[in-house]
């Protein structure tokens, strides 16, 4: 590739990933071996690269991708481009036109590229103008409906919402109810995925006012139930309303003429009731519903038919077994689920959590790796794998995973906190301070980041600033032991020993860990309260798992106390 004199047209009229998909396709053609290592994200962004794929809308997904998946795709694509750019011998400039009018997926990917390839020979020329293909007239409703289904199935919800809105403007419920309903429910699905569930709820109310068609009102009832159960804000979720609408959907399903479809719809809707039962503290009742549903599906499905539907029910059952305190049965269900639907990253994340809880770290790491590959690049899987790597002493791998999690999702606070603390532990104070401040720019009152930044500033001699930061941390979380312990150390160093003891009293009240007792004993010695100090050192020595250096220091301080008391 020697350059792109004509540029790539990124206008949103050409759909998700307009322009950037063609650019990625050209690199993939030039570097097929490199492309094979990024095929999940490349096939999602540029589906024509997957010659064996069926159109996404034909896959009939029973669960849609989360909206955040596009950030994961952008990260993977940017890594692919960066790897290619690293092989360039001469500078290459690639121009992208109409960036200001691009679809959200395109802008997200371009932003990821700008961050990732800044120091490489690749130069990105992003323009709002440039030559543009003429805009086509609105396609027929059937074509718009196909485009809508494809965008929903691929998780491109902003584009789906635009297509659905155009479709709704082109038809009426009186003139073309079938298409109007497809556009209405498609728009509602996209809005719910984009955290606009209240607007989706209004669309279903509108549908019920527009028609009494039993299949439409049945689907609208189930969708309304899921909005109340899952998608509305926490303040607006309403289990009673969700149950009401699920019962309406089940009642309407009972009237379907096709007995096979009657069973399929009823079982599917009853899974919503099982979810509500489990959340309401009735997992045994939820389990009965799921087991009954699996039995009824087995009676109407042929062997090998609808494996993803069966996998979803077994996945639900695994969650219920966990709620019932039976992780072994949950693991057995997940093993079966993965055998029947091996391409779903969610199942590997759940199985990894079970392996991790049982102490099978290597098996958990393997499952998180599979989830990252299939996801692709799930920040939560990177974070969880990093925790396991750190527990196993693989600090470089842990740092790498945490940095990847933050590259995908800069707002992942748990990953930010873990990385900053790991950097402090390794003595990389500059990186730790920069990371803590970056995290606080997004979450200014996050106690854990305030605490760590306070520790860093105290290490650098800025004691007044450290005291203020640690006090803010404690205002946000009065049970944060590390903040009490660190502020005590700052106040001890500033000469306010009594205040240090008061802080350590709070730390000791919250934790039996040896360090707060050791620190309080040291402060009490400064005040000449030898017997109290000796009690703290003795308590600390009685704690299991002390490292050798701390045990040695505690014994030395205890001996000093006893000597002082004897004298």
- Between the alpha carbon of residue 222 and those of residues 215, 276, 321, 325, the distances in Å are 11, 13, 25, 30
pLDDT band, very low/low/confident/very high, at 134 (cuts 50, 70, 90): low
End-to-end CA distance of the chain: 84
Would you state the structure tokens that stand for residue 555, as one six-digit string? 């014994």
When pLDDT is averaged across residues 214-242 and rounded to a whole number, the result is 96
When pLDDT is averaged across residues 259-266 and rounded to a whole number, the result is 96
**How many whole angstroms separate alpha carbon 328 and alpha carbon 513?**
33
In the predicted model, is pLDDT for residue 567 greater than 90? Answer: no
**How many whole angstroms separate alpha carbon 169 and alpha carbon 176?**
12
The H-assigned helical ranges of 393-529 are 395-408, 413-425, 429-442, 447-459, 463-476, 481-493, 497-510, 514-526
- Of residues 52 and 535, the one with the higher pLDDT is 535
- Between the alpha carbon of residue 401 and those of residues 321, 331, 369, 385, 422, the distances in Å are 31, 26, 11, 7, 12
In the predicted model, is pLDDT for residue 237 greater than 50? Answer: yes
CB hemisphere CA count around 249 (13 angstroms): 26
pLDDT at 412: 96
In the predicted model, is pLDDT for residue 396 greater than 90? Answer: yes
Instruction: Kindly write down the DSSP assignment for every residue of 12-24, as one continuous string.
Output: GGG-TTTTHHHHH
pLDDT at 2: 45
* Cβ neighbours of residue 371 closer than 8 Å, sequence gap 6 or more: 345, 346, 348, 349, 352, 378, 381
The pLDDT tens digits of the residues spanning 175-189 come to 999 999 999 999 999
pLDDT band, very low/low/confident/very high, at 4 (cuts 50, 70, 90): very low
pLDDT at 51: 83
The pLDDT tens digits of the residues spanning 421-448 come to 999 999 999 999 999 999 999 999 999 9
Please give the backbone phi and psi of residue 140, each rounded to the nearest 5 degrees, phi first.
-65, 155
Would you state the structure tokens that stand for residue 2, as one six-digit string? 């020697």
**How many whole angstroms separate alpha carbon 119 and alpha carbon 216?**
54
Consecutive H or E run containing 6: strand 4-9
pLDDT at 465: 97
In the predicted model, is pLDDT for residue 56 greater than 70? Answer: no
pLDDT at 62: 56
In the predicted model, is pLDDT for residue 59 greater than 60? Answer: no
Place of tokens 């030898």: 530
Would you state the structure tokens that stand for residue 119, as one six-digit string? 């120091």
Cα torsion for 4, 7, 13, 18, to the nearest 10°?
30
**How many whole angstroms separate alpha carbon 32 and alpha carbon 181?**
42
In the predicted model, is pLDDT for residue 281 greater than 50? Answer: yes
The H-assigned helical ranges of 88-235 are 104-116, 141-154, 157-170, 177-193, 197-210, 214-226
Percent of the chain with pLDDT over 90: 90
- Extents of the domains making up the chain: 4-126, 512-567
Other beta carbons within 10 angstroms of residue 161's beta carbon come to 23
Percent of the chain with pLDDT over 70: 96
Other beta carbons within 10 angstroms of residue 535's beta carbon come to 17
pLDDT band, very low/low/confident/very high, at 136 (cuts 50, 70, 90): low
- Between the alpha carbon of residue 16 and those of residues 20, 25, 50, 145, 151, the distances in Å are 9, 14, 17, 16, 8
Other beta carbons within 10 angstroms of residue 264's beta carbon come to 20
In the predicted model, is pLDDT for residue 3 greater than 90? Answer: no
Instruction: Kindly write down the DSSP assignment for every residue of 250-302, as one continuous string.
Output: HHHHTT-S-HHHHHHHHHHHHHHHHHHHHHTT-HHHHHHHHHHHHHHHHHHSP
The pLDDT tens digits of the residues spanning 16-34 come to 999 999 999 999 999 999 9
pLDDT at 340: 87
Would you state the structure tokens that stand for residue 316, as one six-digit string? 């639900």
Cα 70 to the center of its chain, rounded Å? 12
Write out 422-445 in H/E/C secondary structure: HHHHCCCHHHHHHHHHHHHHHCCC
pLDDT band, very low/low/confident/very high, at 118 (cuts 50, 70, 90): confident
Cα torsion 154, 402, 194, 61: sign: positive
pLDDT at 225: 98
Spatial CA neighbour of 270 closest among 285, 258, 260:
285
The pLDDT tens digits of the residues spanning 333-378 come to 999 999 988 989 999 999 999 999 999 999 999 999 999 999 899 9
pLDDT at 198: 97
pLDDT at 295: 96
pLDDT at 283: 96
In the predicted model, is pLDDT for residue 55 greater than 90? Answer: no
User: Hey, which residues does 92 pair with through a beta bridge?
Assistant: 122
CB 229 within 8 A of CB 252: no
In the predicted model, is pLDDT for residue 1 greater than 80? Answer: no
């Amino acid at each position: 590739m020697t350059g792109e004199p004509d540029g790539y047209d990124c206008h949103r009229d050409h759909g998700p990933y307009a322009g950037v998909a063609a650019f990625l396709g050209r690199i993939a053609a030039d570097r097929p071996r490199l492309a094979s290592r990024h095929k999940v994200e490349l096939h999602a962004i540029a589906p024509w690269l997957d010659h064996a794929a069926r159109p996404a809308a034909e896959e009939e997904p029973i669960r849609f991708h989360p909206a955040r998946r596009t950030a994961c795709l952008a990260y993977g694509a940017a890594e692919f481009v960066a790897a290619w750019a690293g092989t360039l011998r001469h500078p290459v400039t690639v121009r992208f036109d109409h960036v200001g009018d691009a679809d959200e997926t395109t802008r997200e990917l371009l932003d990821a590229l700008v961050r990732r390839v800044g120091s490489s020979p690749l130069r990105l020329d992003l323009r709002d103008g440039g030559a543009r293909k003429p805009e086509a007239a609105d396609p027929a409703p059937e074509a718009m409906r196909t485009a809508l289904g494809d965008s929903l199935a691929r998780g491109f919800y902003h584009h789906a919402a635009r297509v659905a809105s155009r479709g709704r403007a082109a038809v009426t419920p009186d003139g073309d109810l079938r298409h109007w309903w497809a556009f209405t429910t498609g728009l509602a699905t996209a809005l719910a995925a984009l955290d606009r569930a209240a607007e989706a709820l209004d669309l279903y109310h509108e549908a019920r006012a527009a028609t009494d068609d039993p299949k439409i009102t049945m689907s609208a009832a189930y969708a309304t139930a899921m909005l109340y159960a899952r998608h509305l804000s926490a303040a607006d979720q309403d289990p009673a309303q969700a149950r009401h609408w699920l019962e309406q959907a089940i009642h309407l399903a009972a009237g379907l003429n096709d007995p096979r479809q009657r069973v399929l719809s009823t079982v599917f809707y009853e899974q919503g009731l099982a979810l509500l039962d489990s959340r309401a503290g009735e997992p045994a009742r939820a389990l009965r519903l799921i087991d009954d549903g699996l039995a009824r599906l087995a009676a109407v499905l042929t062997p090998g038919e609808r494996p993803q539907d069966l996998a979803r029910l077994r996945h639900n059952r695994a969650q219920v077994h966990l709620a019932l305190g039976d992780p072994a049965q949950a693991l057995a269900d997940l093993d079966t689920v993965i055998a029947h639907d091996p391409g779903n990253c969610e199942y590997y994340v759940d199985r990894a959590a079970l392996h991790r809880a049982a102490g099978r770290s290597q098996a958990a790491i393997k499952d998180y790796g599979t989830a990252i590959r299939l996801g692709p690049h799930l920040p939560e899987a990177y974070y969880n794998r990093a925790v396991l790597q750190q527990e196993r002493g693989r600090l470089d791998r842990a740092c790498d995973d945490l940095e990847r999690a933050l590259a995908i999702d800069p707002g992942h606070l748990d990953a930010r906190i873990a990385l900053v603390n790991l950097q402090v532990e390794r003595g990389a104070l500059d990186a730790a301070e920069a990371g803590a401040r970056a995290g606080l720019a997004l979450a200014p009152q996050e106690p854990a980041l305030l605490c760590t930044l306070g520790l860093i500033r105290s290490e650098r001699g800025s004691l007044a600033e450290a005291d203020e930061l640690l006090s803010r941390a404690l205002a946000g979380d009065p049970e944060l032991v590390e903040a009490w312990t660190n502020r005590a150390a700052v106040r001890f160093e500033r000469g306010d020993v009594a205040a240090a003891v008061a802080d350590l009293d709070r730390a000791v009240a919250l934790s039996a860990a040896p360090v707060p007792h050791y620190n309080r004993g040291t402060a009490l010695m400064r005040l000449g309260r030898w017997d109290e100090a000796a009690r703290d050192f003795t308590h600390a020595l009685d704690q299991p798992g002390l490292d050798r250096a701390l045990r040695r220091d505690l014994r030395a301080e205890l001996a000093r106390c006893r000597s002082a008391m004897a004298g």
